[in-house]
Amino acid sequence: MNKRSGINSKKRILDAALKVFSEYGYKGASMRMIASTARISIGGVYLYFANKEELYLTLIKERLDDFSAQVKTSISEIEDPVKAISSFIMMYLEYAKTHKELILTQGREHGFAFAIDIKREFFKEQRGIIEGIVARGIQSGVFTECNAKEVTKIIMGTMRGFILSIVVDPDNLFSPKECCRLMLGGLLKRTNRAEGEKVRR
């Protein structure tokens, strides 16, 4: 088997795994079902993945890596920090909605601590991207003076709250556009912001 053929086969397996896990959940899925969906022999699946757990972990990492690559490509081309933050939030929430079934499977069958090392590395990278945008916005005078690290934690916490709501409180899912508007504009009217600053002090 040449390298290109191997890459294509692995992708077919991962694409099939996404469909099967999303439809049947982790417990209901089997390697044989995934092989059938991928139209690859069961032995061909085991050639790349030792067991179902390894395949599932690889799928999670692949989805997170895919999102990270999309973010880097998109954000790197945006100079305006306002547009960059908005783009990140929109991409994050839309990606979560697109992969809703996989998130539901993780939350209900494994809990969010599953694959924690992979997720920690992912969130660390995302925090770095957001903190860089916020710091750039402060430096350029577009954003008000604030603690970039703390603001980043709030943004990331909000994003994770959206993911949690997909599993436990779907009626609480909010609009990505409204989320951007609130985070960038706040609740106070411009004429009341000075008074709001006094209250916070």
> Which range marks the domain in which residue 71 is found?
57-200
Cα–Cα distance, 57 to 50 (Å, whole number): 12
Predicted local distance difference test score (pLDDT) of residue 198: 45
Question: Are 98 and 16 members of one domain?
Answer: no
CATH number, position 62: 1.10.357.10
The residue-averaged pLDDT of 168-175 equals: 87
Question: Are 40 and 74 members of one domain?
Answer: no
**pLDDT tens by residue, 119-133:** 999 999 999 999 999
Question: Are 2 and 98 members of one domain?
Answer: no
**pLDDT tens by residue, 172-186:** 888 889 999 998 888
Question: Are 100 and 27 members of one domain?
Answer: no
As for how many domains the chain has, the answer is 2
Q: Across all residues in the chain, what is the average pLDDT?
A: 87
Whether the pLDDT of residue 68 is over 70: the answer is yes
CATH number, position 16: 1.10.10.60
Question: Are 104 and 138 members of one domain?
Answer: yes
